[in-house]
Every structure is written in structure tokens, then in C-alpha cells.
Amino acid sequence: MSDDSAQLVDAVRYARARQQTLAIAGLGSRAAVAPIADGAVLNVAEHRGILRYQPEELVVTVRAGTPVREVIAELARHRQMLAFEPTSFARDGSIGGMIAADASGASRPFAGGVRDALLGVEIINGLGEQGRFGGEVMKNVAGYDVARLQCGARGSCGVLLSASLRVAPIPDCERYIRRALAVDEVCAAMSELRSREPSLTGLAYADGVLQVRVAGSEPAVKAASARIPGDGGDSEFWRQISRHAHPNLSSPPASGGTLWRVSSAPNAPLTGDELLVDWAGGVRWLALDSPPRQATSAPGGWAMAVGGNRAGSIRGLDQATSDLLSRVRLAFDPDSVFAASSNDARGEAKAVQG
């Protein structure tokens, strides 16, 4: 538990005055999607601790360097959890990194992601100013939503100092169902389940098997498992994908090439080359020799390399959005104090040209 905010503010001001660039670093666990950039390291990992947590308010406020695991453990003591499912890599990550990388797991289509649970943040912008946006209340439309903007921004819109996140009761009951399914039936099966099962928290497909997870109150889960065809499974598959530890998600892929995470419309047709399908069809993992094009053509579709020498680079941004992202970044960091990794979304134009 320590408050490093004054030192961090000083460091940003110092760097700005000397026209140096800073690479924001938490626990360094997410190099596969957000490699730490070139520049003097601004270490946020020591700025840690749970600042406020009152279970009946359904909100926890934590410093950005706090390990996600520590927060989860504290919430669990009160039978609560983060209101979304955070993902990690082999090592534990920080709350700041989780937000910056928008690390939302399998329950994203059903319970929402990091951005849906983020209520407020404290940041240091590139001018070395400390500001507070959003708050700890559930509903708040005062001022622009600078808090949620930070999700996926990978530090481009400031250094995260603390965040207020919505929490939820841990469901009484969780069950797992699996059944073999041909790839051409997957999208239909997933959308059919999505449109009639209210207790889903996971819908994935790998190695010819449809994986279903339901959670909630005991009666709800019981009713759902009676309706969903298949055999009982276990939590291991879900634990593996939430930690990127499933064998099909290894990087580099066993089959060669680069591992790509493609975000798409959930019922866009599958090609059969997918290593794993998550988010009820909304995320597809592929091993590719060159960046995907076809997969990102649907409205809002995009892709990111996970690991390898393109780690964290993004495809599928159109020029207008890319320009807009650049201008938004400059609104927070007019002198470009915060360094971009060469693969970062901040190399927006580069990403478009591919």
C-alpha cells in the first residue's frame, strides 16, 4: 500500500520539460498485447492498494498498480467479484494494465467488459496534471466519459492512477456443458442459445467441441442446464482461456505464423481455420502468416496480433477513426510524452496501411 502519485506527477513533468518520452509500465504481464514502449520507464507498479471498498455500494476503488489477483481475493471475502471477467497472461497483471489493455474475458457478451464496469478514474495527462473523471456512483453523465475512454487506450490518454470499478455478487452456482459440434453449425447454435438462455456467462468453441458456461442463482442454473443439450464439463477450459493458457492460444502458434485475435460480428461465418472461438462467436483466434483482411471487413470488425514481433498491432481501423484516435491522444498528451510501442494502436496510420 503506497501512494506514488506525487512522484509520478513529478516524473511526467520532468520528462515533458526535457522533451523525453516515458514508457508507462505496470507489472509487465501483457507484453503479448501491449509491449512496453521505448523510453524511460515510468513504473506504476508500486502505486498500489485498495482505497475504498464497501460491498453494499457495489464499487471498489483501487490504485492502478494493484495486482488484479489481490483485488479479486479481497472482493471474494465478501462473496463479490469484479462485475466482468478479467483476463490475464501467465503472470498476474495490474488493475491499470487490465484497463489499458481492455482485458475482458469470456463473459463479455453477457455481463459486459472492463468498460462497462469502469465508473471513474484518476489520471495524469501528458501535461503532468492530475485529474479525476467519473466517480464511484452507478450513474453519472456529468462531463465527457474520460473514464471509459481509457479502456483499450494502452496509456495513450494518460497514466492511470486509480480506478473505481463496479462489482457484483459471486453467483451461487456455476455449471459447464459441452457437446461435439461441426464447425458449420457453431454460429447457429451459439446464436440460438444466446437468444433464449438468460444465465449464460460463456459460449466458446475449440477442437470440435462447443463449450457452454452458465452461472447465477441455483434455480436459474438448474433450469438452464436442463434446457441446454450436452454433457457436463468442468471449469478447466474456462480457466485456461481466461489466462491465455489454452494450448490453442499458444504464441507462436504450433502451426506457425502469428496468433491473431479477431473481433467480429458474432454470426459472421467461420472458416474452419479458427483455433478457438470465444465471446459467443464475437472473438476468433487464428494463426496467420500475414495480417487478416477478410475477417475485419464486417462493420466494426478488427484484429490484433498477440505475441510475436507484431505483438499488439491492430488491423481494421479506418482512416477517419485512426485520425480521430490520434487527435484524442494529443488532447491528453499534446507533447507526446507517453511513448508508443512501434506496434501500438498509436501507430494508427501505419496500422491501416498494414
Site for another protein in 179-208 (CB under 8 A): 188, 191, 194-196, 198-199
Phi, psi torsion values for 16, nearest 5 degrees: -65, -45
CB of 254 to another protein, least distance (A): 27
The interface region with another protein, picked from 1-9, 25-33, 48-56, 237-245 by CB under 8 A, is 48-56
Which of 17, 73, 76, 138: binder of another protein (CB under 8 A)?
Answer: 138
DSSP 140-202: --SS--HHHHTTT-TTTT-EEEEEEEEEEEPPSEEEEEEEE--GGGHHHHHHHHHHH-TTEEE
Whether residue 219 contacts residue 199, with contact meaning beta carbons closer than 8 Å, is answered with no
CB of 92 to another protein, least distance (A): 22
Task: Please report, as residue ranges, which positions from 317 to 336 form the binding site for another protein (by CB under 8 A).
Answer: 317-318, 320-321, 324-325, 327-332, 334
Whether residue 313 contacts residue 351, with contact meaning beta carbons closer than 8 Å, is answered with yes
Task: Please report, as residue ranges, which positions from 148 to 167 form the binding site for another protein (by CB under 8 A).
Answer: 148-154, 156-157
Closer to another protein by CB, 67 or 128: give it.
128
Q: What is the strand order of the sheet 200-206 is part of?
A: 231-232, 173-180, 209-216, 200-206, 276-278, 283-288, 258-263, 302-306, 314-315
Which of 35, 105, 109, 202: binder of another protein (CB under 8 A)?
Answer: 109
Which x/- pattern over 11-40 shows residues binding another protein (rule: CB under 8 A)?
------------------------------
Whether residue 202 contacts residue 174, with contact meaning beta carbons closer than 8 Å, is answered with no
- Locate 198 and state its grid cell: 438468460
220 exposure class (CB count in 10 Å sphere: 0-12, 13-18, 19+): middle
Cβ neighbours, 10 Å, residue 347? 18
How many residues at the interface with another protein, by CB under 8 A? Answer: 93
Task: Please report, as residue ranges, which positions from 54 to 73 form the binding site for another protein (by CB under 8 A).
Answer: 54-59
Task: Please report, as residue ranges, which positions from 279 to 318 form the binding site for another protein (by CB under 8 A).
Answer: 279, 282-283, 298-302, 304, 314, 316-318
CB of 13 to another protein, least distance (A): 13
CA distances from 119 to 6, 116, 138, 150, 278 (A): 23, 8, 7, 11, 26
Closer to another protein by CB, 55 or 308: give it.
55
Which x/- pattern over 203-232 shows residues binding another protein (rule: CB under 8 A)?
-------------xxxxx-xxx--------
Closer to another protein by CB, 40 or 220: give it.
220
Peptide bond into 252 cis (omega under 30): yes
CA quadruple 21, 26, 29, 30: dihedral positive or negative?
negative
Closer to another protein by CB, 242 or 264: give it.
264
Report the C-alpha gap between 283 and 162 in whole angstroms.
Answer: 29
Closer to another protein by CB, 22 or 283: give it.
283
Report the C-alpha gap between 211 and 176 in whole angstroms.
Answer: 7
CB of 104 to another protein, least distance (A): 7
Closer to another protein by CB, 142 or 254: give it.
142
Task: Please report, as residue ranges, which positions from 251 to 270 form the binding site for another protein (by CB under 8 A).
Answer: 263-268
